[in-house]
Structure formats: C-alpha cells, structure tokens
Chain A
Amino acid sequence: MIDLSPLYDLISHVLPFDCLRARFMQQALFGLILIAPMAAAMGVQVVNFRMAFFADAISHSAFAGVALGLIFAVSPHWTMPAFGLLVGLSIMALQRRSALSSDTVIGVIFSAVMAFGLAIVSRDRTVARDLQRFLYGDILTITDAHIIGLVALFLAIMAFQAWGYNRLLYIGLNPVLAEAHRVRVAFYQYTFAGLLALVVILSVWAVGVLLVTALLIVPAATARNFARSAGSMFWWALVVGITSAVVGLVISAQNWARTATGATVVLCGFAWFLVSYAVTLVRRPALR
C-alpha cells in the first residue's frame, strides 16, 4: 500500500487548524478535497443535461450494491461501484432507445433497484442497522485504500473534463444538433454516465445517499449564477465545491457545532448559492 502520510502532514501544515491534527481528520479532508471538485465538475454537465434525478437513482442503488455484496459474500466496496456503473449505463441505454420520457425511465429503474436493495437488506437485521451509515455518510471513517481509489477516479474525471468539456456543452445544448455536426454523442453520453455513476457511488461513502446529489447540483447551480461564460462556469463550480468542503469539515468538527460533516458541507454550498443569487438580483437591472 502506498504511504500517504507525507500528504496528510502537508495538509496539516497548509491548514493549521486544531481540529485537523488528528490523522482521521486529515484523511477526511483529503477525501473531501478529491470528491468535491469531481462532483462539482461533473455537476456542471448534470445541470446542463438535467440529470439530477439520474444521480439520485445511482446514489439509491447503493443499497442494492450492498445487498449484492451480501448475496455473493463480496465486499460492498466492490459491489457498490460495479452495480452503480451497471445501473447508470442501463438507464442511459434505455433513455436513448425508449419512447418513454427520461424521468419515467429513471423512475422505473430507481424504484426497482431501491426495492431490491431494501428487500435483501431487510432480511438481515445487523446490516439493516448499518444502513444508516449509507443514508448519512461517514467521511471520518475513510480509509487509505478508499482514498487511493478516489485519486484514480479524480485523474480520470479531470482528463475526461479536459478532453470533452466543449463537446459535452454542445450535447447539453442540443444533442440532435451536436450529432448532425459530427460530435459522437453516444460515446460521450455513455462515458459521462459511467464516470458519473462512479463519482456518485464513491461520494455516498462521504456524504450519504441523501446528500450526494447536492454535491453535484449546488456548486453547479451557484456557478451558473456567478459565471458569465462557459469556461468560467467550470472554475466557479470548483471554487464553490472545494471551499464548501473545507469550511464544512472544519465547522462540523467545532465543539459548538458537532454536526454531521456531509450535511454541514452541503449547507456551506447553499450559503454560497444564496450569495450568488443575490449577485444575480443586483446584476440583472444593469443588464436591462
């Protein structure tokens, strides 16, 4: 296993907060610094493609992923991402082929995977108790192995964003127009769906099923309010995502707060959103 302690030492050096002295807090911070920008960057397209509900369906497939782990006696660390990936690609394939509207397709798959997961998990009382961990997430118990997985995914996501950002904008504007103009729409849509599924599932460990979508949507929505060009939208999403993660973690560790980390991070993101909304209100009369 790669030794990550020099990285953690660096983090405590750069951010000399009392609460960040403990190793588990340094691990949590590093995990969040990886998850937040991934989610924020992918969130830009989630908002453009109107795929918030898609992300919700993937996060809820976490239960079924755990259930499959139980059935096949495999660690849920493997079954959750594998099943999430399968669900993501299946929804995309159905959406592209079916005459049903996309929210109907997602709704059907969403209910099926959720019911399957709950049916299996409810048979086992000890696991049922453990489910709370997935509902609210627990970034403070993140392990080095998990962090290495996140680093690999981080590199893949940023490479995809660097390579495909402009094409994804094209598809987000209008897929028919993009395809007529020789953009390989199917390739980008499937790659995006697969990578998004992995980001969502790995983020479930950090902030829980209930709040994953917020990590995607809130920074991107805020970025839309601040940005005035397609390029700056990306950077605003990253700034909002990362600052919310760091500030949220530090606040949640304070004695006066002692709140769940995931929820605090999302609340910080929402504070950013309110500021951005105020900016649009001020800016709008100037545009008239």
Chain B
Amino acid sequence: MNREAAVTFQNVTVNLGGVLILDSVSASAPRGGCAAIVGPNGAGKTTLLLALLGQVPFRGNIRIGDTPDGRRPRVGYVPQRLQFDRGLPMTVADFLVMGLQRLPMWLGVRRRNRDQARGLLAAVRAEPLERRILGALSGGELQRVLLALALQQEPDLLVLDEPAAGVDVQGGYLFCELLERLRRERKFTQLMVSHDLATVTHHASHVILLNRRMAAEGAPKEVLTPENLSAVFGLHMGLADTHAMPDKPSLSACTAPCCREDHHD
C-alpha cells in the first residue's frame, strides 16, 4: 500500500438495490496534495466520497492513512448544497460553536469558544456573517461557513463535494483560491469531487477520472487528455484554457499549480 497516500481506495464496489454504481475502483490521493475526482453525471463520484465517509455500504477497502506522527487522521467534510432546515433560528456563530462546546447552548456560549468561532470565520474571510441566521445565507456564504465548520476539525483530510457548484464563476474561483491557501497553511490533504474541468485543471495536483470504473489517474496534464475525456464524457471535450479566465487583480496572485512561476504550459 502506498505510504505517501492520504487515502487509498482498493477495488471499491458499490451496489445499491441491484444497480452497480462503482465497479472495482482503485485509486489514491497523495498526501498534502489536492486530488480531484472527475467524471460525468452518474459516474459515482459522490458515492465514492460517501463510501469514504462510511455512509454507503461497499465491498473492497478504503484506507485513510495515519498522519506522519502516527495519529489517527481527522476528516473535515464540506457537502454540496447542504440539505437543512432553513427555518431553524440558528446564527452562524451558533453553528460553529455547536461542534466546539459540550455545555448546552441554552446555558450560554463560552468566550473561548466564541473567539474560536470568530477565528474560523476569519480564516474563511467570512467575519461579517457571524450574527446572520444560517438559513438566510446565500449559496456562496453558506459554503464558506461549511468550510469553517470543516476546518474546526483541524482536518488531516478535507473532503469537498462540488466546491464550485451553485456559486458564480468568480465566487467559485475565489473559493478555490482560498482553499489553496488554507491547504498550504494547515497542511491538509484535499480530496474533492468536481464536474468543473476549469476548476480541476487550475487547482488539482492529482486527478481521478471515473465513470463507474476507473478511467485514468495521475497528474492533470496526463489524465485530462482529449482521448480520455472523450472516452469518459462520450463526446469531445477540450481542456478549458485556464488562462482565458477574466484577468482580475485578485486572480493574478493565484498560488495554484498552473499559475506558479515554475509552471510551464
């Protein structure tokens, strides 16, 4: 088994109600990198994540590797479009304190925990949202708050389902840029599902191309070839040209692999 891998999938097969959703998938996500699971609708991308989180029964083996210091790894999860009760009177601060403190919130919030929640919001650049009601947040705002909740776990592995979905292009771009910075600062491994090839080519260091079974795995340039893409997506899909993105000042400081100076395209 690959010691450098943060996550290893070995012959993972998922069969739900007689429908084969994943067929003997073997792949891995390198430690400290950003791995993207890519594939068309119905390819089993989200199912693979749910199997990793223990939410779907599967055959095969999924191993989350121990941390370099031998500790059991912690997982942070950012779901796609969280399904929740928007009528719940819960502020963003409550939402973050909920996982921090055992003392029931009806007996108050400890100052230490409130400060910690503020720190998390600052880390995802969402300080102004602290007193807002959770159900009244926009898609992009909610995504940042969910990222803050996942960071609260001090994750070794951060799992994201479609981080760029439901957010406008610019918002998705900034979110991925934020993730990139956090990943470097906090040194977690990132594993995300994405159908957005522009996001993947821009941010991923490792791509797992999936269509119920493994199609290809490796560096984006090796995997996202026209041949592989047309085999998986069923029609010719050219790579999105990341340099054709709007030339905004905020993007010029991008630290993603394709924008770094050592990158030659």
Chain A residues at the B interface, C-beta cutoff of 8 Å: 48, 50, 99, 161-163, 165-167, 169-170, 172-174, 176-177, 179-183, 224, 227-235
Contacts and interface: CB of A to CB of B under 8 A. Distances in A.
A227 B105 CA distance: 13
Contacts of B107: 162, 231
15 contacts: A161-B104, A162-B107, A165-B106, A166-B102, A173-B88, A176-B50, A176-B79, A180-B77, A181-B152, A228-B133, A229-B94, A230-B91, A231-B106, A231-B107, A231-B109
A245 B67 CA distance: 55
B153 interface: yes
B120 interface: no
Contacts of B105: 165-166, 169, 229-231, 234
Given A48-B85, A50-B85, A172-B85, 13 more contacts: A99-B17, A166-B102, A166-B104, A169-B94, A174-B82, A176-B77, A177-B82, A177-B149, A179-B54, A180-B76, A227-B89, A228-B89, A231-B109
B182 interface: no
A166 B98 contact: yes
Contacts of B106: 165, 231-235
Contacts of B101: 166
Contacts of B90: 169, 173, 229-230
Contacts of A227: 89
B53 A230 contact: no
Nearest to B50: A176
A231 B146 CA distance: 20
Nearest to B53: A180
B55 A176 contact: yes
Contacts, number: 102
Nearest to B78: A177
A165 B87 CA distance: 18
In terms of DSSP, what is the predominant structure of the interface of chain A? helix
A151 to B, nearest CB: 21
Nearest to B105: A231
Most buried by A among B17, B87, B146: B87
Contact of A169 (B76, B98, B153): B98
Interface string B149-161: 1101100000100
Contacts of A235: 106
B contacts with A: majority SS? loop
Contacts of B53: 176, 179-180
Nearest to B85: A48
Contacts of A50: 85
B75 interface: yes
Nearest to A180: B77
B99 interface: yes
B91 A229 contact: yes
B79 A174 contact: yes
B51 to A, nearest CB: 12
A169 B98 CA distance: 7
B104 A173 contact: no
A232 B89 CA distance: 9
Contacts of A166: 97-99, 101-105
Interface in B98-120: 98-99, 101-109
Contacts of B104: 161-163, 165-166, 231, 234
Contacts of B55: 176, 179
A181 B89 contact: no
Contacts of A174: 79, 82-84
Nearest to B93: A229
Interface in B5-27: 17
A177 B108 contact: no
Contacts of B102: 163, 166
B81 to A, nearest CB: 11
A224 B98 contact: no
Interface in B123-155: 133, 146, 149-150, 152-153
A170 B54 contact: no
A147 to B, nearest CB: 26
Among A99, A183, A227, A233, the one with the most B-chain Cβ atoms within 10 Å of its Cβ is A233
A163 B54 CA distance: 26
Nearest to A44: B106
A224 B91 contact: no
A189 B245 CA distance: 47
A182 B64 CA distance: 15
Nearest to A221: B87
Interface string B33-61: 00000000000000000100111000000
Nearest to B153: A181
A179 B53 CA distance: 8
Contacts of A179: 53-55
B155 to A, nearest CB: 9
